[in-house]
Amino acid sequence: MKKRIAILGSTGSIGTQALEVIEAHPDQFEVEVLTAANNWELLVSQAIKFKPNCVVITNDQHYPSVFAALDTHDIKVYAGENALSSVVEMESIDVVLTALVGYAGLIPTISAIKAGKAIALANKETLVVAGELVTGLAKNHAVNIYPVDSEHSAIFQCLAGEWENPIEKIILTASGGPFRGKDREFLASVTKAQALKHPNWDMGAKITIDSASLMNKGLEVIEAKWLFNLSADQIEVIVHPQSIIHSMVQFQDGSIKAQMGLPDMKLPIQYAMGYPDRLVNSFPRFNFIDYPALTFEQPDLSTFQNLSLAYSALKEGGIMPCVLNAANEIAVDAFLKDRIGFLKMPEIVEHCMAKIKNIRNPQLNDYVECDRETRIIAQEIIK
């Protein structure tokens, strides 16, 4: 039986690569749902090629264009953000790949979990914002969450066959981004174009900026806490410029397992969608001779404050990770629009975390309100 896949965010970096994986394995997967926010032309071309049951364009201004383009293709077209939460409940879906960027992935992922769908999670913000709520729902509905982030996929792969063996710690690797080794004086004048030039990975703009500021690694620390039931003290970050070791697990006997390979997001995407099978592929293979030296460094927390702020939010718990995420989304958007400098981003996050009172045992409405309030405060700082 083919796995029927819903891709939330099919026009983004993860979504387009997921479609490449599906195209390479027509005997394993078929597309059931595709969604996009604004890139309606690419959504239409994807739909014509992969023939899903339906598509969703969340910006309803594009609905007439999408509907007209697909009217003769027997593909249902829906519009609006609420439609995302509705389509993931379709009985014909087996796996929901959440490839949306940011807070937008939370509510549809919750809906998919409540509908009993397996989750291939590329949207780390879902667990950053509401990890306790989401993992609790997954447990109650017997839903598996398969990580797509390369680091968390690496941890998941290292744990295969080790489920009963206690973890001493995990080690998340970071490339260091384009500004590894730079000081605050240098960072004060960096441009958007410089920040978007990641040395190893091809990602969307928001994630690339997060990588440059080390916020992406901070978000991954929080995500790892919920995926693998760890404390903050069990999660270590180390800079590994070559991005060959994607992450490691150290067990209670001191043994360390590492997952290695060339930086290519299609591998963790394929692993999450195809689990428990390792599917044959034609991806480039790693050769040790091409990488005679693999190096490691401590992250510079005084220069790249976002990673420290993420650890602080994780340790404080409650709604603080939600504050961290919302403030960062506003800050990154402002940086990409040339409204603030690079070093202003962690200042905005820190200010919001200090401004908003924590709620220790939040419910969904608390997260929603926290996200809304944080964005207002962050926008006021930028003005």
For the stretch 257-289, pLDDT in tens is 999 999 999 999 999 999 999 999 999 999 999
Mean predicted confidence (pLDDT) in 188-202: 91
Give the C-alpha separation, 268 to 247, whole Å: 12
Query: Per the domain annotation, does 383 fall within a domain?
Result: no
User: Which domain CATH number covers 104?
Assistant: 3.40.50.720
Give 155's contacts (C-beta < 8 A, 6+ positions apart). Answer: 147, 170, 172, 224, 227, 228, 247, 248, 249, 259
Convert 163-195 to b/e letters by CB count within 10 Å (16 or more is b): eeeebebbbbbbbbbbbbebeeeebeebeeeeb
Give 284's contacts (C-beta < 8 A, 6+ positions apart). Answer: 262, 264
Is the predicted pLDDT of residue 185 greater than 80, yes or no? Answer: yes
Parallel, antiparallel, or unpaired: how do β-strands 95-98 and 167-174 relate? unpaired
Residue 203 confidence class, pLDDT cut points 50, 70, 90: confident
pLDDT at 224: 98
Task: Record the tokens describing residue 239, joined without a space.
Answer: 């800079």
Closest-CA residue to 341 (of 213, 154, 178) = 213
Residue 290 confidence class, pLDDT cut points 50, 70, 90: very high
Widest Cα–Cα separation across the chain: 62
Structural domain boundaries, residue 32 = 3-147
Query: Per the domain annotation, does 113 fall within a domain?
Result: yes
Give 195's contacts (C-beta < 8 A, 6+ positions apart). Answer: 178, 179, 208, 209, 212, 213, 335, 342
Pair (14, 69) in one structural domain: yes
Pair (244, 185) in one structural domain: yes
User: Beta-strand (E) ranges in 217-335?
Assistant: 235-239, 245-251, 256-260
Pair (195, 302) in one structural domain: yes
Give the C-alpha separation, 213 to 197, whole Å: 12
Is the predicted pLDDT of residue 202 greater than 80, yes or no? Answer: no
Give the C-alpha separation, 319 to 46, whole Å: 37
Pair (88, 236) in one structural domain: no
Task: Record the tokens describing residue 309, joined without a space.
Answer: 């702020």
Pair (17, 122) in one structural domain: yes
Element (DSSP H or E) covering residue 317: none
Residue 370 · residue 359 · CB < 8 Å: yes
Pair (186, 119) in one structural domain: no
pLDDT at 139: 98
Pair (238, 132) in one structural domain: no
Number of domains in the chain: 2
Tell me the whole-structure pTM to 2 decimals: 0.95
**CA 30 → CA 1, 101, 267, 367, distances in Å?**
10, 23, 18, 34
Taking residue 148's Cβ as centre, other Cβ atoms within 10 Å add up to: 27
Among residues of the chain, what percentage have pLDDT more than 70? 100
Is the predicted pLDDT of residue 7 greater than 90, yes or no? Answer: yes
Pair (157, 138) in one structural domain: no
Residue 379 confidence class, pLDDT cut points 50, 70, 90: very high
Pair (8, 109) in one structural domain: yes
Could you say which of 297, 316, 335 is where a domain stops?
Answer: 316
Residue 34 · residue 55 · CB < 8 Å: yes
Mean predicted confidence (pLDDT) in 199-204: 82
Pair (254, 183) in one structural domain: yes
Residue 200 confidence class, pLDDT cut points 50, 70, 90: confident
pLDDT at 323: 98
pLDDT at 199: 85
Q: C-alpha angle with apex 157: 154 to 160, nearest 5 degrees?
A: 155
pLDDT at 366: 97
pLDDT at 4: 98
Query: Per the domain annotation, does 371 fall within a domain?
Result: no
Query: Per the domain annotation, does 94 fall within a domain?
Result: yes
- How far is Cα of residue 376 from the mean position of the Cα atoms in its chain? 24
pLDDT at 340: 98
Place of tokens 């509905």: 141
Could you say which of 147, 179, 197 is where a domain stops?
Answer: 147
Pair (157, 51) in one structural domain: no
Could you say which of 276, 294, 316 is where a domain stops?
Answer: 316
Query: Per the domain annotation, does 105 fall within a domain?
Result: yes
pLDDT at 338: 96
Query: Per the domain annotation, does 272 fall within a domain?
Result: no
Query: Per the domain annotation, does 20 fall within a domain?
Result: yes
Is the predicted pLDDT of residue 204 greater than 90, yes or no? Answer: no
* 24-72 residue pLDDT tens: 999 999 999 999 999 999 999 999 999 999 999 999 999 999 999 999 9
Query: Per the domain annotation, does 80 fall within a domain?
Result: yes
Pair (194, 223) in one structural domain: yes
